[in-house]
C-alpha cells in the first residue's frame, strides 16, 4: 500500500485566511448582559475571558442571543478552550431554547448538547455524549470516547442536520441531529467536588462558499515504491463581506477518481 505525504503545505499556509469568529470572550458570570446572554443555573467568574462552574453552585448554562453571521444563522461553530478540569462535564449547546440547561439528572428547555466528561486534568480518555432535550425530556443520541488534554480547543460545528466535533483539529465525532433551529451556548456540570473552567468561548458562522481549487499546474509529485509525496500552491479563501465573508480554509482532500484517499486539516 502506498502512503501519501503532504509536502510543502506549511509554506502555503501564509496564503490562507484565518477563521473569523463573531464572538470571543465570556459573559460576566456574576452579571451577564441580558441583551447577549440568557443565564440559567449558576456559573462564576473564572478569570479573564473564562467562566467557572464549581460544585458548590451546581450546573449552569449561557445561551447566546445575537444572530450568528453567515448564510444561515442556525448553522455555526461553538468553541471553547479547556482551562481547568477537576471532575465534571463541559457542555456545548446547539439549536437551544433560551431556557436550556442540562443537569446530572435531566434537563430543561429544548436543545442538542455535546457533553464532554473528563476526570481530573483529562487523565485518561474522555467521554463525548450527544443528547437531545425536548421540553425537558432528555434522550441520548450518541456516545464515544477520545483523548483530550488541558489547553485544547473543544469545537462543535453544526449545519443543517450535520454535527461534527473536534479536539483541536482532530475530528472525533460526526453524526446527524434532528434539530435545525435554535441558539448556540455553553455550560458545565461540575462533579461532586469538582471545578470546571472554560474559556475563551467562541461563536462563529458556517460558511457555504467554497474556496477555489488548487491550480493543477502547481502540483508536483514524487513517487517512490511505498510513498507518494505531493506539493502544490496553497489557495486563499474568498474575501467576501459579512455575512458571506470567507472564514478560512480547513483542509485539502486527495481523490483518485471517485475515491477519497486522504485529507489534511490545516487550521485550528
- The values of phi and psi at residue 144, to 5°, are -155, 175
Which sign does the torsion angle of CA 211, 215, 216, 221 carry? negative
| Separation of alpha carbons 256 and 241, rounded Å | 34
pLDDT band (50, 70, 90) for residue 263: low
Q: To the nearest whole number, what is the mean pLDDT of the chain? A: 82
Asked if residue 200 lies in contact with residue 26, where contact means CB atoms within 8 angstroms, the answer is yes
pLDDT band (50, 70, 90) for residue 18: low
Complete domains list, the chain, with CATH: 3-16+209-265 (no CATH), 23-205 (2.60.120.560)
Checking if the pLDDT of 244 tops 90, the result is no
Checking if the pLDDT of 201 tops 50, the result is yes
pLDDT of residue 150: 87
Asked if residue 135 lies in contact with residue 110, where contact means CB atoms within 8 angstroms, the answer is yes
pLDDT of residue 195: 81
For 45-98, what is each residue's pLDDT tens digit?
555 678 888 888 889 999 999 999 888 999 999 999 988 778 889 999 999 999
C-alpha cell at 267: 487550521
pLDDT of residue 265: 56
Checking if the pLDDT of 138 tops 90, the result is yes
| Separation of alpha carbons 146 and 127, rounded Å | 7
| Separation of alpha carbons 73 and 66, rounded Å | 9
Label residue 157 exposed, middle or buried (CB < 10 Å: 0-12, 13-18, 19+): buried
pLDDT mean over 155-183:
93
pLDDT band (50, 70, 90) for residue 14: very low
Of 109-118, 192-201, 207-216, 241-250, which one has max mean pLDDT? Answer: 109-118
pLDDT of residue 268: 43
C-alpha cell at 170: 482532530
Distance of CA 159 to the CA centre of its chain: 12
pLDDT band (50, 70, 90) for residue 15: very low
Amino acid at each position: 500500500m502506498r502512503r501519501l505525504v503532504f509536502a510543502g503545505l506549511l509554506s502555503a499556509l501564509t496564503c490562507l485566511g484565518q477563521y473569523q469568529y463573531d464572538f470571543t470572550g465570556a459573559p460576566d458570570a456574576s452579571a451577564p448582559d441580558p441583551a447577549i446572554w440568557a443565564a440559567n443555573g449558576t456559573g462564576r467568574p473564572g478569570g479573564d475571558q473564562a467562566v467557572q462552574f464549581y460544585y458548590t453552585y451546581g450546573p449552569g448554562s449561557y445561551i447566546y442571543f445575537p444572530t450568528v453571521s453567515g448564510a444561515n444563522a442556525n448553522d455555526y461553530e461553538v468553541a471553547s478552550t479547556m482551562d481547568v478540569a477537576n471532575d465534571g462535564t463541559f457542555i456545548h449547546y446547539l439549536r437551544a431554547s433560551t431556557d436550556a440547561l442540562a443537569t446530572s439528572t435531566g434537563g430543561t428547555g429544548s436543545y442538542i448538547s455535546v457533553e464532554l466528561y473528563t476526570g481530573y486534568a483529562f487523565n485518561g480518555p474522555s467521554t463525548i455524549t450527544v443528547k437531545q432535550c425536548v421540553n425537558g425530556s432528555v434522550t441520548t443520541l450518541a456516545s464515544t470516547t477520545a483523548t483530550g488534554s488541558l489547553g485544547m480547543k473543544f469545537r462543535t460545528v453544526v449545519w443543517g442536520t450535520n454535527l461534527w466535533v473536534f479536539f483541536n483539529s482532530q475530528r472525533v465525532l460526526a453524526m446527524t441531529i434532528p434539530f435545525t433551529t435554535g441558539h448556540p451556548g455553553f455550560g458545565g456540570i461540575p462533579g461532586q467536588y469538582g471545578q470546571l473552567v472554560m474559556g475563551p468561548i467562541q461563536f462563529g458562522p458556517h460558511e457555504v462558499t467554497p474556496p477555489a481549487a488548487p491550480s493543477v499546474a502547481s502540483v508536483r509529485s514524487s513517487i517512490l515504491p511505498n510513498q507518494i509525496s505531493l506539493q502544490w500552491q496553497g489557495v486563499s479563501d474568498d474575501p467576501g463581506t459579512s455575512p458571506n465573508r470567507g472564514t478560512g480554509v480547513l483542509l485539502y482532500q486527495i481523490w483518485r477518481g471517485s475515491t477519497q484517499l486522504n485529507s489534511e486539516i490545516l487550521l485550528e
